[in-house]
Structure 1
Amino acid sequence: MTTTTTDPTLEAAPERAVTGRLRGSLGVASIVFIVVAAASPLGVIGGPVPLGIAFGNGAGFPFTYLVATAVLLLFAVGFTAATPFVRSAGAFYAYVDRGLGRAAGLGTAFAALLSYLALEAGVFGLLGPAVDGLLQSYGLPAVPWWVYALVGFVAVSALGYFNIELSTKVLAVLLIAEVLIVLALDAVVIFGGGGPEGYSTGVFDPAQILSGAPGFAILFAILSFIGFEATAVFRDEAKDPDRTIPRATYISLISIGIFYAVSSWALISANGQSGIVENTTSNAGTVLATTAETYLGTVGGHIIQVLFATSLFACILSFHNIATRYFFSLGRKGVLSSSLAAAHPKFGSPARASLLTSGIVLALVAVAVVLGLEPITQFYTWLGGISSVGVVLLLVITSVAVLAIFRKDSHSLGAWRTTIAPVLGLIGLLTFLAIILVNLPVLVGEASYGPFSIGVLVLLVAAFALGPVIAAARKDAELD
């Protein structure tokens, strides 16, 4: 934390700290890499997908991704239509400020920061054990999970300090590798005639789609898309943002949705539809690796293990960049200290904001270590609960804000983009939010609402409540 006040290269540019903009020339592909990496495709296929199959609707689970994609695309219609009229690089909170006012906008900003910082820190609870398990398989001794988490933390902090284009290059390499290995597995299964029972038909069978607990399936499906709002976070570093952001949003959502639907269907087919629920219930954490070994050989299984760890790293790096730009934007608008808006004179990066993000995440990981929390079932699960509720709540509030923006002035964009699609998306998102709230105790490891699930809601309410307080204290601050 002391680095933020002693870095001479930053102190040399006080004028830029307040008025400068970040430098970058991100195109559609670069922003899509960041967004899809945040979604962690391989991590999803190895985590939420088996859980969604086991505790959701079994062989009908792939259809759930199509439902989630459709709802989010309806949301994106209004979200992207409003983008040219929201000039700030603040993603959700800038839209809420324009539609619902400063107090609501600031509350949204702090809730978003809480959600993304919690998720970034929580995924370290997955990364540490994943790397430890990988290296143990090669004969190295076991070490505490936080050792490898700390190594990953240093790498993420270093990349976050430099220009965003360096991060996008790293993310591109990691993302392409993890997507290719999953596509290779999909191709072997699909072009090989499926698995022991041929191709799964559950995705087309209403009885399968509605079997089990489809509401719980929706929960895991929607969690797989967290991070797609990053398309608007990088406005300042995008080429022609009014065109780049909408295109990146649609491409990200469609590609993620299709990838998850096809890959989850292939995973079910590979293992046999009749026994997939039992298989994933007993082996949720290993079903992807064992499937890869069966269809791609031992080498394929090892590659999956390696890329699972790098997928988690890419996810952390993406959310670090998102949270950092929230801090930068709030500093530039006078909501937080203007020193956070210091664009590095050499790299054109939000260096100080990145250091603050790193400091908070390090503190959260340190608390987990000191308290002796189990990294996956406690640290990741609890922080993941905050993120899941927070992000869907942000989507709901942003949907309302978009409708409010176009209620003031439709800008002659037509009823579909300004009213019909946003309303349909809002209805879908409210349904998702209700489902997540009902299932929140299970998500954080409780049988019913207890201290942890209630604590998640209290933290989010407190974050939103900061909005009116800060709005009253910093009346000169502008969000858009």
Structure 2
Amino acid sequence: MTHESTSPRTAAAATEAAPPRRSRLTGNLGTGSIAFMVIAAAAPLTVIGGNAPLAIGQGNGAGAPVGFLLASLVLLLFAVGFVAMTPFVKEAGAFFSYVTIGLGSRLGMGTAYVALVAYTAIQAGIYGYMGWAIMDLVRTLGGPEIHWSVFAILTLVVVGLLGYRHIELSSKVLGVALVLELLVMMIVNVAVIVNGGPEGRSLASFDPQVFLTPGLGVAVLFALTGFIGFESTAIYRDEAREPSRTIPRATYLAVGIIGVFYTISVWVLVVAAGPASVVEVAQQTLFGSKNMLLDTAGDFAGGLTRSVMQILLITSLFACVLSFHNIVARYQFALARIGSMPAALGRVHDRHQSPAASSLVQSVTALVIIGIFVVIGLDPLVQVFGFMAGVATIGMVMMMLLTTLAVVVFFLRNPRLRKNPWTGTVIPVVAVLALAVSAWLVLSNFTMITSGSVAVSIGLALIPPAALVAGAIVNRKDGGRTVDIQLEKL
């Protein structure tokens, strides 16, 4: 999005908000690199190990794979409108840029604040999960008892160093981590499919009598939380090789790969345990007496694969938290460029060509949040991760719903820009309805995500809406006038 104007008043406002000359990120990221970073943010191995047992044990049992499939379809519907509008969004601000153009600057800035809160929350939650996972591994190997926060802070330091440098370095690290975790899960998937489980290669998961139960909504809920961050393809716009082509391709590729991977892998867990026994196995995992994913790996692919997978679960979390760090740093950077955050956050590092100042601020923010969790004495897995994942899930659904509404309104106001009524109107309207149902599922089952009391869950659920209101009040310094100018040029 540009900030030029033929009006002296608008020009003055734009000049006031303009950051220093070196304010635009550069890069040569291709479709694969961006898709890899987005998929890494989804932490597929962690989702299969954590969300899948929840969807099975508390949801619709053997029918849980259909819940992941339905969540994938909802996000695919969202992606259609998102991609259709992408050529007309020139600002690397992801959701808030789309909402600003479609629904106005106030809701746009509100969406930006929701994004900052949601992604900062999930990042902090993953630091807690990461600290617990490494602590548990050290304890399992006979090492000393070390507080989880030590490992969380060490992870934060490494993430901060990578985030401070050019995005190409992060993309390579994330690419390697992602390939390894996908590879080990594929080995397990093939082993289970080749050998079959107690009931053979059962397809009971896809039987309507099995998946069409009241617990289907719960399965969809936990599936949706596994997609947090998938839309961040647009946040890398300035660093993409050909944004108009790269961003749409990366979005579809990310949704497709994640959706197929989740659905097949959850089905494999059902096959491995047997449809008749899978709920019991999943619930034993939830109570800590078993580990559904690791046990399946050990039983079907050998002890070495199990050990490798346990280590890769940690690298999966690392890739995830690095991805979210980069996303938040770029959100802050984009907001600084339009004058809604301190100008220093909108500067590009001379040597690394990265949003270094924004990255550093994000590292400090995460450190402060971890410190607060430690002082309060929260459990790193159940409370830190559970609470923060809840905040992020509500924030994600809110942002997608607002973005899809923005797509519908944008093309209704600008019919000459709509190349296809299906991609510009019909499918986005269907996506709005699907996301509204998703929002209801999240809110009606919110205590399952947070594992907290009703009072705590209500307090956490109100954080994203409060961020939306705060952002709408703050708005942007140019009052959204440049948005009108941009639309006139389209």
Instruction: Decide: shared fold, TM above 0.5.
Output: yes
Aligned residues: 463
CA distance in 1, matches of 2:102, 2:40: 30
CA distance in 2, matches of 1:157, 1:311: 17
Q: 1:51: Cα distance to partner?
A: 0.7
Distance change >3 Å, CA 243–CA 384, structure 1 → 2? same
1:397 aligns with 2:397: no
Q: 1:458: Cα distance to partner?
A: 2.6
Q: 1:378 aligns with which of 354, 374, 383?
A: 383
Q: Percent identity?
A: 42
**Which amino acid in 2 is paired with 1:60?**
G
1:463 aligns with 2:467: yes
Distance change >3 Å, CA 472–CA 164, structure 1 → 2? closer
Match in the other structure for 2:51 = 48
CA distance in 2, matches of 1:244, 1:432: 28
1:167 aligns with 2:170: yes
Asked if structure 1 preserves the Cα contact closer than 8 Å seen for 2:52 and 2:222, the reply is yes
Q: 1:139: Cα distance to partner?
A: 2.3
**Which amino acid in 1 is paired with 2:303?**
T
Equivalent residue runs for 1:399-478 within 5 Å = 399-410=404-415, 411-446=417-452, 449-450=454-455, 452-471=456-475, 475=479
1:156 aligns with 2:156: no
1:277 aligns with 2:284: no
CA distance in 1, matches of 2:229, 2:390: 15
CA distance in 2, matches of 1:45, 1:472: 40
Match in the other structure for 1:242 = 244
CA distance in 2, matches of 1:142, 1:336: 41
Asked if structure 2 preserves the Cα contact closer than 8 Å seen for 1:200 and 1:265, the reply is no
Q: 1:327: Cα distance to partner?
A: 0.3
CA distance in 2, matches of 1:88, 1:226: 21
Match in the other structure for 1:329 = 334
Q: Deviations over 1:77-132 (max 9, x none)?
A: 11101001111000000000001111000000000100000000111111011111
CA distance in 2, matches of 1:204, 1:458: 36
Asked if structure 2 preserves the Cα contact closer than 8 Å seen for 1:334 and 1:476, the reply is no
Q: 1:409: Cα distance to partner?
A: 1.0
Match in the other structure for 1:358 = 363
1:229 alignment partner, SS class: helix
CA distance in 2, matches of 1:412, 1:305: 48
Match in the other structure for 1:292 = 297
Deviates more, 1:208-217 or 1:180-189: 208-217
CA distance in 2, matches of 1:98, 1:20: 21
**Which amino acid in 2 is paired with 1:422?**
P
Asked if structure 1 preserves the Cα contact closer than 8 Å seen for 2:19 and 2:336, the reply is no
Task: Give the gaps of 5 or more residues in structure 2.
Answer: 1-17
Match in the other structure for 1:264 = 266
Match in the other structure for 1:5 = none
1:211 aligns with 2:213: yes
1:310 aligns with 2:315: yes
Distance change >3 Å, CA 331–CA 373, structure 1 → 2? same
CA distance in 2, matches of 1:366, 1:45: 29
Q: Deviations over 1:306-355 (max 9, x none)?
A: 00011001100000000000000000111111110110000100000101
Distance change >3 Å, CA 407–CA 439, structure 1 → 2? same
CA distance in 1, matches of 2:363, 2:475: 26
Q: Deviations over 1:399-425 (max 9, x none)?
A: 101111101113141210111110111
Distance change >3 Å, CA 478–CA 109, structure 1 → 2? farther
Asked if structure 1 preserves the Cα contact closer than 8 Å seen for 2:383 and 2:452, the reply is no
Q: 1:467: Cα distance to partner?
A: 2.2
CA distance in 1, matches of 2:297, 2:75: 30
Asked if structure 2 preserves the Cα contact closer than 8 Å seen for 1:18 and 1:338, the reply is no
**Which amino acid in 2 is paired with 1:427?**
L
The alignment's C-alpha RMSD in Å is 1.5
Q: 1:17: Cα distance to partner?
A: 3.6
CA distance in 2, matches of 1:417, 1:62: 27
Match in the other structure for 1:4 = none
**Which amino acid in 2 is paired with 1:365?**
I
**Which amino acid in 2 is paired with 1:302?**
S
Match in the other structure for 1:188 = 191
CA distance in 1, matches of 2:480, 2:397: 30
CA distance in 1, matches of 2:408, 2:337: 27
CA distance in 2, matches of 1:434, 1:256: 23
Asked if structure 1 preserves the Cα contact closer than 8 Å seen for 2:387 and 2:450, the reply is yes
CA distance in 2, matches of 1:84, 1:427: 24
Q: Deviations over 1:18-45 (max 9, x none)?
A: 5521121100000011000000010011
**Which amino acid in 1 is paired with 2:445?**
N
Distance change >3 Å, CA 333–CA 473, structure 1 → 2? closer
Asked if structure 2 preserves the Cα contact closer than 8 Å seen for 1:18 and 1:332, the reply is no
Distance change >3 Å, CA 248–CA 392, structure 1 → 2? same
**Which amino acid in 2 is paired with 1:275?**
S
Q: Deviations over 1:193-223 (max 9, x none)?
A: x111111322221011023511111110111
Match in the other structure for 1:6 = none
CA distance in 2, matches of 1:465, 1:367: 25
Asked if structure 2 preserves the Cα contact closer than 8 Å seen for 1:17 and 1:340, the reply is no
Q: 1:441: Cα distance to partner?
A: 2.2
Match in the other structure for 2:14 = none
Match in the other structure for 2:129 = 126
CA distance in 1, matches of 2:396, 2:137: 31
CA distance in 2, matches of 1:23, 1:240: 11
Q: 1:16: Cα distance to partner?
A: 7.2
CA distance in 2, matches of 1:244, 1:217: 32
Asked if structure 2 preserves the Cα contact closer than 8 Å seen for 1:392 and 1:433, the reply is yes
Q: 1:301 aligns with which of 302, 306, 310?
A: 306
Match in the other structure for 1:91 = 94
1:77 aligns with 2:83: no
Asked if structure 2 preserves the Cα contact closer than 8 Å seen for 1:59 and 1:200, the reply is no
CA distance in 2, matches of 1:110, 1:64: 30
Match in the other structure for 2:324 = 319
Q: TM-score if structure 1 supplies the norm length?
A: 0.94
Distance change >3 Å, CA 465–CA 59, structure 1 → 2? same
Q: 1:256: Cα distance to partner?
A: 0.4
Distance change >3 Å, CA 403–CA 105, structure 1 → 2? same
